Amino acid sequence: MVAHEVFTYEELLDILENFDAPPGFKSELVRGEIVLSPQGRVHSEIILAGQVAAMAAGLPRWRAISDVLSPFPHTRSGFCPDVSILRSTASRTAKPLPRSDIAAAIEVVSSDLGEKDYGIKVQEYAVAEIDAYLIADPYKGLCTLFTGPENGAYPEPKTYPFGATVTFTADGTDFVLDTSDWPRIG
Protein backbone atom coordinates (compact mmCIF):
# COMPACT_ATOMS: atom_id res chain seq x y z
CA MET A 1 0.00 0.00 0.00
CA VAL A 2 1.31 3.45 -0.97
CA ALA A 3 0.83 6.31 1.46
CA HIS A 4 -1.02 9.33 0.08
CA GLU A 5 0.75 12.60 0.78
CA VAL A 6 -1.50 15.43 1.93
CA PHE A 7 -0.67 18.87 0.60
CA THR A 8 -1.57 22.21 2.12
CA TYR A 9 -3.74 24.57 0.12
CA GLU A 10 -0.74 26.82 -0.56
CA GLU A 11 1.32 23.85 -1.79
CA LEU A 12 -1.51 22.82 -4.13
CA LEU A 13 -1.70 26.35 -5.56
CA ASP A 14 2.05 26.32 -6.12
CA ILE A 15 1.87 22.91 -7.84
CA LEU A 16 -0.97 24.14 -10.05
CA GLU A 17 0.81 27.37 -10.94
CA ASN A 18 3.85 25.41 -12.12
CA PHE A 19 1.91 22.53 -13.71
CA ASP A 20 2.05 22.11 -17.48
CA ALA A 21 -1.30 20.69 -18.52
CA PRO A 22 -1.21 18.38 -21.54
CA PRO A 23 -2.10 20.02 -24.85
CA GLY A 24 -5.85 20.49 -25.19
CA PHE A 25 -6.50 20.67 -21.42
CA LYS A 26 -6.63 23.32 -18.73
CA SER A 27 -5.97 22.64 -15.07
CA GLU A 28 -7.75 24.02 -12.00
CA LEU A 29 -7.90 23.28 -8.31
CA VAL A 30 -11.42 22.27 -7.25
CA ARG A 31 -12.06 21.51 -3.58
CA GLY A 32 -8.45 20.51 -3.03
CA GLU A 33 -8.10 18.34 -6.15
CA ILE A 34 -6.32 19.22 -9.37
CA VAL A 35 -8.79 18.74 -12.22
CA LEU A 36 -8.05 18.69 -15.94
CA SER A 37 -10.75 19.88 -18.35
CA PRO A 38 -10.65 19.36 -22.12
CA GLN A 39 -10.43 22.45 -24.31
CA GLY A 40 -10.98 22.42 -28.04
CA ARG A 41 -11.68 24.60 -31.03
CA VAL A 42 -15.24 25.43 -29.90
CA HIS A 43 -13.94 26.59 -26.52
CA SER A 44 -11.20 28.63 -28.15
CA GLU A 45 -13.66 30.44 -30.46
CA ILE A 46 -15.98 31.40 -27.59
CA ILE A 47 -13.10 32.46 -25.34
CA LEU A 48 -11.75 34.70 -28.11
CA ALA A 49 -15.24 36.19 -28.61
CA GLY A 50 -15.30 37.14 -24.91
CA GLN A 51 -11.92 38.83 -25.15
CA VAL A 52 -12.88 40.66 -28.35
CA ALA A 53 -16.09 41.92 -26.67
CA ALA A 54 -14.01 43.29 -23.79
CA MET A 55 -11.71 45.13 -26.16
CA ALA A 56 -14.70 46.41 -28.17
CA ALA A 57 -15.96 47.88 -24.89
CA GLY A 58 -12.75 49.90 -24.74
CA LEU A 59 -10.67 47.78 -22.37
CA PRO A 60 -6.96 47.31 -22.98
CA ARG A 61 -5.80 43.74 -23.75
CA TRP A 62 -4.33 43.23 -20.28
CA ARG A 63 -7.83 43.54 -18.74
CA ALA A 64 -9.25 40.61 -20.76
CA ILE A 65 -7.13 37.60 -19.85
CA SER A 66 -7.56 33.87 -20.19
CA ASP A 67 -6.77 30.91 -17.93
CA VAL A 68 -4.95 32.85 -15.19
CA LEU A 69 -4.97 31.29 -11.71
CA SER A 70 -7.01 32.99 -8.99
CA PRO A 71 -7.29 31.50 -5.47
CA PHE A 72 -10.66 30.81 -3.83
CA PRO A 73 -9.50 29.57 -0.41
CA HIS A 74 -13.01 29.17 1.08
CA THR A 75 -13.36 25.87 -0.82
CA ARG A 76 -9.64 25.10 -1.31
CA SER A 77 -10.03 25.99 -4.97
CA GLY A 78 -7.97 27.83 -7.55
CA PHE A 79 -9.92 28.71 -10.67
CA CYS A 80 -8.60 29.81 -14.05
CA PRO A 81 -11.60 31.45 -15.74
CA ASP A 82 -11.70 31.01 -19.50
CA VAL A 83 -11.98 34.81 -19.62
CA SER A 84 -11.36 37.12 -16.69
CA ILE A 85 -12.34 40.72 -17.24
CA LEU A 86 -10.30 42.70 -14.77
CA ARG A 87 -11.27 45.74 -12.75
CA SER A 88 -9.71 49.08 -13.68
CA THR A 89 -7.84 48.94 -10.34
CA ALA A 90 -6.42 45.44 -10.97
CA SER A 91 -2.74 44.74 -10.66
CA ARG A 92 -0.93 43.78 -13.87
CA THR A 93 1.75 41.90 -11.96
CA ALA A 94 0.04 40.09 -9.06
CA LYS A 95 0.66 36.36 -9.08
CA PRO A 96 -1.60 34.55 -8.52
CA LEU A 97 -4.38 36.93 -9.57
CA PRO A 98 -6.42 38.14 -6.57
CA ARG A 99 -10.08 37.23 -7.02
CA SER A 100 -10.95 40.80 -6.00
CA ASP A 101 -9.35 41.96 -9.29
CA ILE A 102 -11.95 40.07 -11.38
CA ALA A 103 -14.96 42.15 -12.47
CA ALA A 104 -16.49 39.48 -14.72
CA ALA A 105 -15.80 35.85 -15.59
CA ILE A 106 -16.77 33.85 -18.65
CA GLU A 107 -16.59 30.07 -18.49
CA VAL A 108 -17.13 27.73 -21.43
CA VAL A 109 -18.54 24.37 -20.34
CA SER A 110 -15.97 21.65 -21.03
CA SER A 111 -18.20 18.61 -20.66
CA ASP A 112 -21.88 17.91 -21.11
CA LEU A 113 -22.39 18.09 -17.33
CA GLY A 114 -20.67 21.39 -16.54
CA GLU A 115 -20.81 20.58 -12.81
CA LYS A 116 -18.03 23.01 -11.85
CA ASP A 117 -19.39 25.84 -13.96
CA TYR A 118 -23.03 25.56 -12.79
CA GLY A 119 -22.15 24.63 -9.19
CA ILE A 120 -19.11 25.65 -7.16
CA LYS A 121 -18.10 28.49 -9.49
CA VAL A 122 -21.52 30.17 -9.20
CA GLN A 123 -21.15 30.07 -5.42
CA GLU A 124 -17.53 31.16 -5.26
CA TYR A 125 -17.84 33.95 -7.84
CA ALA A 126 -20.82 35.37 -5.93
CA VAL A 127 -18.95 35.22 -2.60
CA ALA A 128 -16.03 37.02 -4.31
CA GLU A 129 -18.51 39.70 -5.52
CA ILE A 130 -17.65 39.22 -9.17
CA ASP A 131 -20.10 41.57 -10.92
CA ALA A 132 -21.04 39.23 -13.77
CA TYR A 133 -20.54 35.54 -14.45
CA LEU A 134 -21.44 34.15 -17.87
CA ILE A 135 -21.58 30.42 -18.56
CA ALA A 136 -21.41 29.61 -22.27
CA ASP A 137 -22.65 26.06 -22.77
CA PRO A 138 -21.95 24.76 -26.30
CA TYR A 139 -23.65 21.44 -25.44
CA LYS A 140 -26.99 23.11 -24.70
CA GLY A 141 -26.51 26.11 -26.99
CA LEU A 142 -27.28 28.40 -24.04
CA CYS A 143 -25.67 31.24 -22.12
CA THR A 144 -26.50 31.62 -18.44
CA LEU A 145 -25.77 35.07 -17.00
CA PHE A 146 -25.45 35.79 -13.28
CA THR A 147 -25.15 39.44 -12.21
CA GLY A 148 -25.40 41.62 -9.11
CA PRO A 149 -24.21 39.37 -6.29
CA GLU A 150 -25.68 40.23 -2.89
CA ASN A 151 -24.81 38.66 0.46
CA GLY A 152 -22.66 36.00 -1.21
CA ALA A 153 -25.27 34.87 -3.77
CA TYR A 154 -26.44 35.80 -7.23
CA PRO A 155 -30.12 36.42 -7.90
CA GLU A 156 -31.83 34.20 -10.48
CA PRO A 157 -29.82 34.11 -13.70
CA LYS A 158 -30.98 35.09 -17.17
CA THR A 159 -30.62 32.59 -19.99
CA TYR A 160 -30.03 33.32 -23.66
CA PRO A 161 -29.93 30.90 -26.58
CA PHE A 162 -26.83 30.93 -28.76
CA GLY A 163 -27.74 33.44 -31.46
CA ALA A 164 -28.94 36.11 -29.01
CA THR A 165 -27.07 39.22 -27.95
CA VAL A 166 -25.94 39.06 -24.33
CA THR A 167 -25.29 42.33 -22.48
CA PHE A 168 -24.01 42.97 -18.99
CA THR A 169 -22.21 45.61 -16.95
CA ALA A 170 -19.09 44.97 -14.88
CA ASP A 171 -16.87 47.51 -13.16
CA GLY A 172 -18.92 50.30 -14.75
CA THR A 173 -18.35 49.08 -18.32
CA ASP A 174 -21.09 47.75 -20.62
CA PHE A 175 -20.27 44.57 -22.54
CA VAL A 176 -22.07 43.22 -25.61
CA LEU A 177 -21.58 39.64 -26.76
CA ASP A 178 -23.04 38.69 -30.14
CA THR A 179 -23.47 34.92 -29.93
CA SER A 180 -24.91 34.54 -33.43
CA ASP A 181 -21.89 32.62 -34.72
CA TRP A 182 -20.98 30.71 -31.56
CA PRO A 183 -20.42 27.04 -32.35
CA ARG A 184 -22.17 24.15 -30.62
CA ILE A 185 -21.03 20.68 -29.67
CA GLY A 186 -23.26 17.76 -30.52
Find the CATH number of the domain harbouring 135.
3.90.1570.10
Does residue 89 form part of some domain?
Answer: yes
Q: Which domain holds residue 112?
A: 9-178
Tell whether 169 is covered by a domain: yes
Asked if the structure places residue 3 within a domain, the reply is no
pLDDT on residue 4: 55
Name the domain count of the chain: 1
Per-residue model confidence (pLDDT) at position 147: 98
Measured distance CA(130)–CA(149) in Å, rounded? 7
Q: What's the start-to-end Cα distance of the chain, in Å?
A: 42
Per-residue pLDDT of the chain (186 residues; tens, 9 = 90+): 455 568 899 999 999 999 999 999 999 999 999 999 999 999 999 999 999 999 999 999 999 999 999 999 989 999 999 999 999 999 999 989 999 999 999 999 998 678 899 999 999 999 999 999 999 999 999 999 999 999 999 999 999 999 999 999 999 999 999 999 999 998
Pairing verdict, β 25-30 and 64-65: unpaired
Sign of CA dihedral 39, 32, 134, 20: negative
Residue 152 inside a domain? The answer is yes
pLDDT at 163: 97
Residue 162 lies in a domain: yes
4 in any annotated domain: no
CA neighbours closer than 13 Å in the CB half-sphere of residue 2? 3
Which tens digits make up the pLDDT trace of 86-108?
999 999 999 899 999 999 999 99
- Per the CB < 8 A criterion, the answer to whether 133 and 104 are in contact is yes
185 and 41 Cβ atoms separated by less than 8 Å: no
The predicted pLDDT at position 132 comes to: 98
Q: Taking all residues of the chain, what is their mean pLDDT, rounded to a whole number?
A: 94
The reply to whether 185 falls in a domain is no
Residue 184 lies in a domain: no
Predicted local distance difference test score (pLDDT) of residue 111 = 82
The alpha carbon dihedral of 32, 26, 86, 174 has a sign of negative
Phi, psi dihedrals of residue 93, rounded to the nearest 5° = -120, -10
